[in-house]
Amino acid sequence: MATYVISDIHGQYDMFMDLLYKISFSDKDTLYILGDIIDRGPHPIKTMRKLMEMPNVICLLGNHEYMALGCLSLFGIGQVMIFSIIRTSISLPDIHLLR
């Protein structure tokens, strides 16, 4: 059982998956992500969906997530549910439009 801390994935899904493979990340491990999961990279939604499937990953909001939530609220798109200070999930009816 190991604990890992990373940040700034920025939608780089393939690089993130490579990292998990290299550290032999398992269900017994815990991963803390210190923000900036989205923006810049080619697969932010795919990355978010993967993280939402992983109960042993705890995500903090970074400045990129904070800006995205602000933009989404301006357009009334979706709902945001904050489960705790460090565990978040976004539910959007037309999330595929954000790719």
On the question of pLDDT at 7 being above 50, the answer is: yes
Q: Who contacts 78 (Cβ-Cβ below 8 Å, separation ≥6)?
A: 72, 90, 91, 92, 93, 95
The pTM assigned to this predicted structure is 0.72
Per residue in 18-27, pLDDT (tens digit) is 999 999 999 9
Task: Tell me the residue ranges of DSSP E strands in 1-99.
Answer: 3-6, 30-33, 57-59, 79-82, 88-91
Confidence of residue 75 (pLDDT cuts 50, 70, 90): low
CATH number, position 93: 3.60.21.10
Confidence of residue 77 (pLDDT cuts 50, 70, 90): low
Domain count within the chain: 1
Alpha carbon dihedral 61, 44, 48, 89, in 10-degree steps, equals: 50
Domain that holds residue 22: 3-98
Per residue in 50-74, pLDDT (tens digit) is 998 999 999 888 887 777 777 766 6
The share of the chain scoring above pLDDT 90, in percent, equals: 42
